[in-house]
Amino acid sequence: MTKIKQVVKRTGDVVSFNPKRITNAIYRAAVAVGGRDRSIAEGLTKQVVAILEENTPPGHIPHVEEIQDIVEKVLIEAGHARTAKAYILYRAERARRRGEKSVRSQRGDGSIPYRKIYEVLNWAVDHNLHTVGHLNERLARGEFPDIVHESDQVYERDVATTAEIIRERQDEVKIVIVAGPSSSGKTTTTTKLSERLKAIGLSLVALNVDNYFFNLELHPKDEFGDYDFETPQALDLALVNEHLVRLLAGEEVRTPFYDFHSGKRTLNVTPMRVGPKDIILIDSLHGLYADMTRDIADKRKFRLYIETLLQMKDDKGKFIRWTDLRLMRRMVRDSQFRAYDPEGTLLHWHYVRSSELRNIIPHVNTADYIINSGLPYELPIMKARLTHGFKQWAEKYADDPQRVDACIRSTRVHELLRTITPVEDDTPIPPQSLLREFIGGSCYEY
């Protein structure tokens, strides 16, 4: 048992001291540079705790910054220079974000080209869907089916444009990557894009990147001890890259198989080969992450990015956050198809978002095209399904210093949904709609 019982967070809140969080932070940094031995992280944690106990005066509650200073010192002195560098850089990046006085609009993260933002906003204004008030007015006039049709039409146009660009580059493009953050609609978009490409005579071969996850015990964890599937280091990126190089060279490879029930990966399972006219299709959170396709020339790749670029202001004049749309989508989908409680999704979202900001958003500017998957009509649908839950969670976590993120998100979404007219009947939403990926009733298999 450690003598240290509490720690002061950056917010000033005093919480219980848990050495496992130190282990998780060290292991995460090690994974970022290729390390996979958790026992080393556990041994280094013991050194950190020993120094902390030795240098903490009686009655003093150490601050999280003090502990992180000791972690850096231990990593360097123990000869783990690369891990120390990854830890220091991550710590510095977190500090930069906390101290940054953003001059950007709430509409996005700055990596989405303003031309695309303007196109979406211009469409919203033209269709009277640029504010919650205008949305409610159209709903009151019974125009929900029209909103569905208009929204789906512009999304389908984006998919069609993507297929046309690939057709024009078909002589050089050999890999199509569909990337984007969690619940942005990558799976449906990939399916629709596949249909269009096949219709113009292009042969597609899917590479399931999910089978390249490392065994579960090798995954990094978040500060609460949850396994992190959101980080690119959870994937064997080097093996993905190697297999892609060999496939494009005309070789046969045997792809692995990952069993999500057991958390185990089996290597060399499924034979795969692509012909000279085939295009490899990849659907992945981290498709834009450089290490996944490091040895593939850029001209041979087409990189598509999906994001819920909704341009709608709430009743306070602030743009609705894209991440909140995706959180609601994932809650409904996980509850319906994965037997996962929506509250669990909320508590999980803090590192989903953290990983997006670290590993997905910074690479958006490498995309060849961006599709907007934000659908104005999803808000009244989500209102009917989730509004009471967010109210309860906002109240439940209001005074919990360990769940500040959950409290902030649930409060914000509750305040948004409170102002939106609910729609219970989803029959006007066609089975080919992207939203059906999350609410059910899709004509596609997922």
Condensed to tens digits (0 to 9), the pLDDT of residues 248-296 reads: 999 999 999 999 889 999 999 999 999 888 999 999 999 999 999 999 9
Q: CA–CA distance from 38 to each of 42, 221, 237 (Å)?
A: 6, 11, 19
pLDDT tens profile 96-142 = 655 543 333 333 444 788 889 989 999 999 999 999 999 999 999 99
* Same domain (yes/no): 79, 184: no
- Flag whether 109 is in a domain: no
Q: CA–CA distance from 340 to each of 141, 330, 331 (Å)?
A: 36, 10, 8
Q: Which of 44, 73, 99 is the last residue of a domain?
A: 99
- Flag whether 288 is in a domain: yes
* Same domain (yes/no): 173, 92: no
Spell out the alpha helix ranges (H) of 300-341: 322-337
Q: Is 238 helix (H, G, I), strand (E, B) or coil?
A: helix
* Same domain (yes/no): 334, 383: yes
d(CA 256, CA 254): 7
pLDDT of residue 103: 34
- Flag whether 444 is in a domain: no
Range with top average pLDDT, 29-38, 39-48, 376-385: 376-385
pLDDT of residue 101: 39
pLDDT > 90? residue 86: no
pTM of the complete model: 0.79
d(CA 172, CA 403): 49
pLDDT (mean) for 1-14: 82
* Same domain (yes/no): 60, 162: no
* Same domain (yes/no): 43, 171: no
- Flag whether 446 is in a domain: no
Q: Which of 99, 134, 163 is the last residue of a domain?
A: 99
pLDDT of residue 97: 59
* Same domain (yes/no): 93, 210: no
Indicate the pLDDT class of residue 11, thresholds 50, 70 and 90. Answer: confident
* Same domain (yes/no): 209, 121: yes
Range with top average pLDDT, 2-11, 50-59, 302-311: 302-311
Q: Give me the percent of the chain exceeding a pLDDT of 90.
A: 62
Range with top average pLDDT, 39-48, 339-348, 405-414: 405-414
Q: Give me the percent of the chain exceeding a pLDDT of 70.
A: 94
Which residue pairs, CB below 8 angstroms and at least 24 apart, start in 45-50? 45/19, 45/20, 47/74, 47/78, 48/19, 48/22, 48/74, 49/2, 49/4, 49/19, 49/22
* Same domain (yes/no): 41, 85: yes
Q: CA–CA distance from 284 to each of 29, 186, 399, 432 (Å)?
A: 22, 8, 37, 21
pLDDT of residue 108: 41
Higher pLDDT, 77 or 373: 373
* Same domain (yes/no): 163, 187: yes
pLDDT (mean) for 396-421: 94
Q: Is 370 helix (H, G, I), strand (E, B) or coil?
A: strand
Into how many domains does the chain fold? 2
Quote the mean pLDDT of the chain: 90
- Flag whether 421 is in a domain: yes
pLDDT > 70? residue 14: yes
pLDDT tens profile 166-177 = 999 999 999 999
For residue 152, the domain's CATH number is: 3.40.50.300
Q: Tell me if 423 sits within 8 A of 143, measured CB to CB.
A: no
pLDDT of residue 98: 57
pLDDT tens profile 179-196 = 999 999 999 999 999 999
- Flag whether 298 is in a domain: yes
Domain range holding 36?
6-99
d(CA 177, CA 180): 10
Indicate the pLDDT class of residue 27, thresholds 50, 70 and 90. Answer: confident
* Same domain (yes/no): 323, 422: yes
Q: Which of 99, 123, 150 is the last residue of a domain?
A: 99
d(CA 305, CA 180): 5
* Same domain (yes/no): 297, 378: yes
Higher pLDDT, 29 or 229: 29
* Same domain (yes/no): 37, 134: no
Q: Tell me if 154 sits within 8 A of 410, measured CB to CB.
A: no
pLDDT of residue 107: 36
pLDDT of residue 424: 96
pLDDT tens profile 177-236 = 999 999 999 999 999 999 999 998 888 899 999 999 999 888 777 666 677 777 888 899
Indicate the pLDDT class of residue 387, thresholds 50, 70 and 90. Answer: confident
- Flag whether 445 is in a domain: no
pLDDT (mean) for 419-441: 97
At 292, list the tokens.
């996944």
- Flag whether 118 is in a domain: yes
